[in-house]
Amino acid sequence: MLTFHSDKTSLRQARTELHDGALVTPFESPERVALILAHLKQSPLGEVRAPHAYGLAPVLAVHDTGYVSFLESCWQRWQAAGHAGEAMANIWPARTLPGKHIPESVSGQLGYYALAAETSITQGTFDAAMASKDVALAAVSHTLSSGEPSFGLCRPPGHHAARDQFGGYCFFNNAAIAAQYARDAGKTRVAILDVDFHHGNGTQQIFYDREDVLFVSIHGDPAVTFPYYAGYADETGDGPGEGFTVNYPLPPGTEVVTWLATLDQAMARLQAFAPELLVVSLGVDIFEGDPISAFTFKREDFVTLGERLAQLQRPTTFLMEGGYAVEDIGVNVVNVLRGFDSEN
């Protein structure tokens, strides 16, 4: 399987994440990509290619123009305002505020365009997000033109990013950008299967009222885990999109057999949809050792996951989402891709 990777994804080198009431070194680090790449290169999986630049058009096909401009200018404006730390939201158009105006100041706009507080915007954040979506686009292009599977080593991840909001370490929704790109290239039905521990609220929101992109997600129950306000089983889509969002929330500590039985249900729904392309939002934070997640996958279970997904027999693009147990991240990712290739 071909991997797509860009060195520019390392341009995001944030120093701070708001975690458990303290500013800590972000879990979502450039080291994650380096470790996956190192492990991939020791495996027989195949070549790693760099993407070309696809520009902003595929981003603006799913994201709001004002949002994209904000991301591009935020760091410079934050610095010009003389703030010492990294750019972080600390006020929102919350439920009890009118919230009818987009403020002028960068601090006000941060709250408008953020859905969570943990994620900072820094010097290279925009450029890394651009590289990340280019990786996704190159991977999906390869699958579209060849029918062969591909892996986009995206970073920062994307699935929490909504049409006009960042958060949960995500800025551009790489999976949504890739899926829309496939639609615009003429594929009529595209499915996104999100196996990250956290619900892909952004992907869900972007396609919520659409029947052409099926979104299926298995994740930690939002009643007790991030992102808390999305990912419930009764969120099934809106209007023409009714029935084209499918959520499988599972409690923390869920056993792998239960997770895999849920995957069987998810796969039945995916097969009924008969997608011309499958995008897998691949979060390996379902690993038992993940520091911020609570599922119980062991290293070998990731091989099983890859094998099962190959049974769908669909043109498939894997895009990297989460995974924070850095010492095992390379093995876990390569295991999924190996399992898929062995059955493909």
Q: Which residues contact ligand OKP (rule: CB under 6 A)?
A: 19, 118, 157, 160, 168-169, 196, 198, 226, 283, 285, 292, 321-322
Q: Which does 202 bind (CB under 5 to 8 A by kind): ligand OKP, Zn ion, none?
A: none
In the bound state with ligand OKP, the residue whose beta carbon lies nearer, of 161 and 256, is 161
CB nearer to ligand OKP: pick between 173 and 316: 173
Scan residues 246-285 and list those touching Zn ion (CB under 5 A): 283, 285
Find, among 284, 280, 311, the residue nearest to 295 by Cα.
284
Q: Dig out the tokens for 127 from the structure.
A: 């450029």
CA dihedral in degrees (54, 313, 260, 42; nearest 10)? -60
Select 133 or 198, whichever has its Cβ closest to ligand OKP: 198
Return the H-helix or E-strand segment holding 138. Answer: helix 125-146
- The answer to the question of residue 322 lying near Zn ion (CB under 5 A) is yes
Nearer to ligand OKP, 2 or 266 (CB): 266
Instruction: State how far the Cα of 121 lies from the Cα of 138, in Å rounded to an integer.
Output: 25
Q: By CB under 5 A, is residue 196 in contact with Zn ion? A: yes
Rounded-to-integer distance, Cα 321 and Cα 13, Å: 17
Reply yes or no on whether 160 is catalytic. yes
Q: Which one of 56-64, 99-107, 191-199, 229-237 is the stretch in contact with Zn ion (CB under 5 A)? A: 191-199
Q: Which of 5, 39, 159, 160 is catalytic?
A: 160
Q: Looking at the DSSP assignment, which residues form a beta bridge with residue 93? A: none
Other CB atoms within a 10 A radius of the CB of residue 172 amount to 30
Nearest residue relative to ligand OKP (C-beta): 322
Residue 330 binds to Zn ion (criterion: CB under 5 A): no
Cis previous bond, 44, omega within 30:
no
The binder of 340, among Zn ion, ligand OKP, none, by C-beta within 5 to 8 A per type, is none
Fill in the DSSP letter of residue 123.
T
Residues β-bridged to residue 165? 162
Q: According to the binding rule CB under 5 A, does residue 235 interact with Zn ion?
A: no
Could you list the active site residues?
160
